[in-house]
């Protein structure tokens, strides 16, 4: 790997660590430069703006999440039980976050910030949980969470699922909630109970 690529990765890693520990609004080029032992100008050389850097870090995490979700077996969608399908998809999603506590905190902080704008949303939309439900809907010609769609809309459903899952993943990683199958099933019920009706 070339020095330029190593420096770029170090910068992204430092941004993720600072964003995870202090919140996205606390990430500055000065803190990143100090953490990486580089000049601030090096950050601008690689990313142009701090927003570009922070968005880039978010998209790298999102791409890894999409790769984890792509491992879900397609035959799962042929199963007649919607609850079981939702459980398998969501569990893969939760486990991804539990394996990456720093990335989870960064992603949650970015997702809830003004930096998560239409441009970032559209760039990451096809890589998310919604893609898998859309696939199921295409196969059956109906919406999986039909009643919830009618009441609060598609975007609100996925924001609810993403926010709740990130919150629980952070609480489990921080030791506020113990990790067990029973706890995961309880969290699933809290998030999905009304959506599945």
Per-residue model confidence as pLDDT tens digits over 87-124: 888 899 999 999 999 999 999 999 999 998 878 877 77
Q: At 129, is the pLDDT very low, low, confident or very high (cuts 50, 70, 90)?
A: low
The per-residue pLDDT of the chain, averaged, comes to 83
**pLDDT greater at residue 12 or residue 195:** 12
Residue 78 has pLDDT above 70, yes or no: yes
What does the block give as tokens for 126? 């096809």
pLDDT exceeds cutoff 90 at 171: yes
Closest CA to 113 of 68, 67, 166: 166
Do the Cβ atoms of 68 and 104 come closer than 8 Å? no
Task: Identify the structural domains of the chain with CATH numbers, from first to last.
Answer: 55-192 (1.10.357.10)
Whether the pLDDT of residue 1 is over 80: the answer is no
The total of other beta-carbon atoms located within 10 Å of residue 30's CB is 10
CB-based contact 32:94 (threshold 8 Å): no
Q: Average pLDDT in the 149-172 region?
A: 76
**Lowest mean pLDDT, pick from 4-8, 60-64, 92-96, 140-144:** 140-144
pLDDT of residue 6: 81
pLDDT of the residue at 120: 82
Count CA atoms closer than 13 A to 156's CA, side-chain side: 8
Residues 6+ apart with CB under 8 A from 77: 85, 132, 135, 136, 139
pLDDT higher than 50, residue 138: no
What is residue 177's predicted lDDT score, i.e. its pLDDT? 94
Q: Give the dihedral of Cα atoms 98, 5, 57, 64; nearest 10 deg.
A: -40
pTM of the model: 0.83
């Amino acid at each position: 790997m070339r020095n330029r690529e190593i420096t770029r990765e170090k910068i992204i890693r430092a941004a993720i660590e600072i964003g995870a520990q202090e919140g996205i609004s606390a990430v500055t080029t000065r803190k990143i430069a100090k953490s990486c032992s580089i000049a601030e100008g090096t950050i601008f050389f690689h990313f142009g703006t701090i927003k570009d850097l922070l968005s880039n870090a978010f998209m790298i995490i999102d791409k890894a999440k999409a790769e984890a979700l792509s491992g879900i077996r397609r035959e799962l969608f042929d199963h007649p039980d919607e609850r079981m399908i939702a459980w398998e998809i969501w569990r893969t999603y939760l486990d991804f976050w539990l394996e990456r506590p720093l990335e989870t905190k960064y992603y949650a902080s970015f997702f809830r910030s003004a930096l998560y704008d239409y441009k970032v949303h559209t760039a990451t939309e096809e890589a998310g949980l919604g893609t898998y439900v859309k696939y199921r809907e295409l196969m059956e010609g109906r919406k999986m969470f039909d009643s919830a769609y009618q009441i609060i809309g598609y975007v609100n459903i996925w924001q609810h699922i993403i926010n709740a899952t990130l919150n629980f993943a952070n609480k489990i990683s921080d030791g506020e909630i113990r990790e067990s199958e029973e706890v995961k099933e309880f969290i699933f019920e809290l998030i999905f109970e009304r959506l599945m009706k």
